Structure 1
Amino acid sequence: MRILVTGGAGFIGSHFVRSVLQGERDGISDASVTVLDKLTYSGNRANLDPVASHPGLTFVEGDICDEALVDELVPGHDAIVHFAAESHVDRSIAGAKPFVVTNVLGTQTLLDAAVRHRTGRFLHVSTDEVYGSIESGSWSEDWPLAPNSPYSASKASSDLLALAYSRTHHLDVVVTRCSNNYGPYQFPEKVIPLFVTNLIDGRNVPLYGDGGNIRDWLHVDDHCHGIALALTRGRAGEVYNIGGGTELTNKELTGLLLDACGVGWERVDYVEDRKAHDRRYSVDITKISKELGYQPRVPFETGLADTVRWYVENRSWWEPLREKAGL
């Protein structure tokens, strides 16, 4: 299988690329991968170092909004797996334009090229944040979209655009919506690597509001497992939720990270809550489980311990990123 992976030098995209080229994804064998990544602040070529010499890897630095470049790259690929996105909620609140440009117009550029060149499958990677917030129960894939941040609104727009291309142009589109990811190689502005690297460096960590916001945590390898299933076995025109099955309040997560780093609650600063901060996310994974056989395989306790250990042992990876981002 010849796969074009956008955003393949980012956190989740690079994990997918590494695992595909190392033969770790069921249903994908003898794959070649072209990575298209703009290498903005969160894209990191070093994320692909473990497979840098693999004969099946081609890396192209470029923008998914560059129509000429995309039109040159898309032909010859059996599938597009579209990770590339601006994804940090706080940054979207500070300035929404890059999110609209990359997440909506970039997706449209890729979709148009896929139609022109009759790409076999277009897998669009999205987020549970498009659903908004839910007090109880869990979202199924047909739940109305109600995004509350500029980031999630831009992702909801790209979801609808991708699904519209499926109906209008009969493009073989599959959309996945994941819960909160964690694992190695995650850019240190996100909560788990931010907290761990702060604590390692002797800094305090910021906890929004009362810490009662609830998230479902998904190890990046489980997410990529679900993506591979959707890519190879999902039904065209369908949406599949991918969850991890571990719901925690932000305060509970903070406690686990404090324990893992051997420090106490004196290292926590309570800060003003984020604007329009969604209270709870929870996805129903019944559909992907029944249709594709997906189940999360990484126990949260194991995954979190491994993640903390990775950041402890890989200061040379994250320290320059924190400095560059002014964290």
Structure 2
Amino acid sequence: MKIVEQIKQPIAFEMELFEQKFRLSMSSKVALLNRITHYIVNRKGKQMRPMFVFLVAKMINHGEVSERTYRGASVIELIHTATLVHDDVVDDSNRRRGFFSVNALWKNKIAVLIGDFLLSKGLLLSIDNNDFDLLKIISVAVREMSEGELLQIEKARRLDITEEVYYEIIRQKTATLIAACCSLGAASVKPNSPEVEQMRRFGELIGMAFQIKDDLFDYGDDQIGKPTGIDIKEQKMTLPLIHVLNKAPKKEKAWLINSVKNHNKNKSRVKEVISYVKTEGGLDYAVSKMKGFQMEALEILNQYPDSEFKNSLELMVNYVIDRKK
């Protein structure tokens, strides 16, 4: 956890103030609603999203943030939390970050209504303050996240997914939200400036690297993060497997596809697939792609003068690649 604390240090004051403002932005006259939103706020994770918003705003604006920065960070948390609450209902998931999910404690109907409530709160926070540019950034991200999920569902049925389609899925599913945080941080202090697009690209690159790192955990021997082979069991096509599939001879390709499609619950067969992917250079290939995204993100940062905020963002980029879960 130390590294996250280190990243947060230059924005510790802003993050505390943000938490107060975020709690207020969730308030309602309905007691049940307040009980549930209080529960949601109290089980927050590392808070990477608001950290990106504040670090980017301060890096490009000589250490200054504005009220818009706080609102932008709140809106993205409100709307993102709404999507997570809905996700847990869709996935029939009882846990989120080690706590019970909203639907596990209060049933699906209430969870869906809470998600809708948070979504409308986010929209109104922007509209009431004429932050239409910030609202557009977030709305585009939500649209892309939905498209990415649906694209993945559509392609998962047929396992002949190309690398291009894989990148499009992870760009929309994972990278678009981090991109929105970074571009929102820039837009909150320098609306309509070239930095808004530049920081969007920066966030997108981090998101791409982040997702490939997640893919690699599935092949790890050490029991850190998720256990091995889960993606294969769920028939999720990840970069190491896609790369090996696309260059495998006909016979091996048929065996791989058959294994993932029809034998994904067979532990020894999954192990064979994992070892084939490793032997054929699938992991090395994915690592090199991940490092490519990392380098490109660091190059964007290098265009900015040195500051503690820039240092924290550099740490963040490297943390995404070096994290153990």
In terms of Rg, which structure is larger? 2
Task: Determine which structure has the larger strand proportion and give its number.
Answer: 1
Report the TM-score, using the length of structure 1 for normalisation: 0.32
